[in-house]
Amino acid sequence: MTRPFTTDAFDYVLSPDRIAQQPVEPRDSARLLVLERATGALSDRIVRDLPALLRPGDCLVVNDTRVLPARLQGRRPSGGRVELLLLRRRGDQQWEALVRPARRLRAGESIELAGGTHARIVEEGEGGVRLIALEDEAAALASGQVPLPPYITQPLSDPERYQTIFARVPGSAAAPTAGLHFTPALLDQLAERGILRVTITLHIGLDTFRPVKEPDPRQHRLHREWYQVTPEAATAINAARAAGGRIVAVGTTTVRTLESAADEQGVVHPGTRETDLFILPGYRFRAIDALLTNFHLPRSTLLMLVAAFAGREAVLAAYQHAIAAGYRFYSFGDAMLVL
């Protein structure tokens, strides 16, 4: 039985100058650290080397969620400024939203948004979260901004650079950043190599921004996130694996989707559901064989997931190698391939 870990066991020190503020161009020129799970061996590559690192018959699974312009600016009747970050749809024109400042915003209060429409506080939640009703959702989103993570302090000249080239289904508060590294040319090369590509959807919500504060990470709870695996996607994934291909998850959101949709035998089932799956070391993976992911924040649920897949010691050793070798970290940073 795997011993439980404390949250401190997933900590590491990163100099702020290692946090990428702008993405590289072209997208597939980012560096790629390859970690072999069986041996712990590391090799330094480039994302565009991916076709040579995978095998014909392997199946890349990507998340096609699209980041909403979900950061809304508004004013209270008193004139005070308010910021809303839409997190999760709860119904027609209704959303869970992270509200700042939250302590004075009570149920029933109306906020005038930048686009001239209004939002009403329906229900008060915990940690600055409120259930809000939008008077005109389309108008509210038309005046909204794409939310960047708090560690990115420089504005983007092109908001599309925080969208993957797969982005199709609007609904996320953050990008599935492992997918930011792909280009049409790279996809063509992967296809020519005989590597399949399948799409799923998971809309990313609040917990991308929320660190683990509990000393025991098992006490941390994830908010539920909406996902969809179509019958066509499930059939293609299961067929690829049955034929001996590896299922290569592009990003932790894809991992959580596939593991939520898989049964004990690793068969992925179609469906539209919500998941709060929190993967920690000791978890038995059923649906994936390899992982392409970015470098994640210390003490984060994402780092814990990667550690569960590749081993905590191996992952932290890989991170120390990446820091020493000058890799760029977080959303606009470089990538790691775990095989």
Q: Are 301 and 205 in contact (CB under 8 A)?
A: no
141 token code pair: 């989103």
Q: Is 261 exposed, middle or buried (0-12, 13-18, 19+ CB in 10 A)?
A: buried
What CA–CA distance (Å, rounded) separates 29 from 97? Answer: 35
Q: Which of 92, 198, 96 is nearest to 135 (CA)?
A: 92
Q: What angle do CA 106, 110, 114 make, to 5 degrees?
A: 125
Angle between helices 252-261 and 301-310 (to 10 degrees): 70
Which residues, 6 or more positions from 150, have their beta carbon under 8 angstroms from its beta carbon? Answer: 209
Beta partners for 274? Answer: 226
All structural domains of the chain, each given as residue ranges with its CATH number in brackets, are: 7-67+157-338 (3.40.1780.10), 71-142 (2.40.10.240)
pLDDT in tens, the chain (339 residues): 355 789 999 999 999 999 999 999 999 999 999 999 999 999 999 999 999 999 999 999 999 999 999 999 999 888 889 999 998 888 888 999 989 887 778 888 899 998 889 999 999 888 788 999 999 999 999 999 998 888 898 888 888 999 999 999 999 999 999 999 999 999 999 999 999 999 999 999 867 667 788 999 998 888 889 999 999 999 999 999 999 999 999 999 999 999 999 999 999 999 999 999 999 999 999 999 999 999 999 999 999 999 999 999 999 999 999 999 999 999 999 999 999
Q: Are 247 and 309 in contact (CB under 8 A)?
A: no
| CA separation, residue 171 to residues 30, 320, 326 (Å) | 26, 34, 34
203 token code pair: 């809309």
What CA–CA distance (Å, rounded) separates 82 from 182? Answer: 36
User: Which residue reads 């040579």 in tokens?
Assistant: 52
Q: Are 76 and 119 in contact (CB under 8 A)?
A: no
Whether the model pTM is above 0.85 = yes
User: Can the peptide bond before residue 231 be classed as cis, meaning omega within 30 degrees of 0?
Assistant: no
Which residues, 6 or more positions from 85, have their beta carbon under 8 angstroms from its beta carbon? Answer: 70, 71, 72, 97, 98, 99, 147, 173
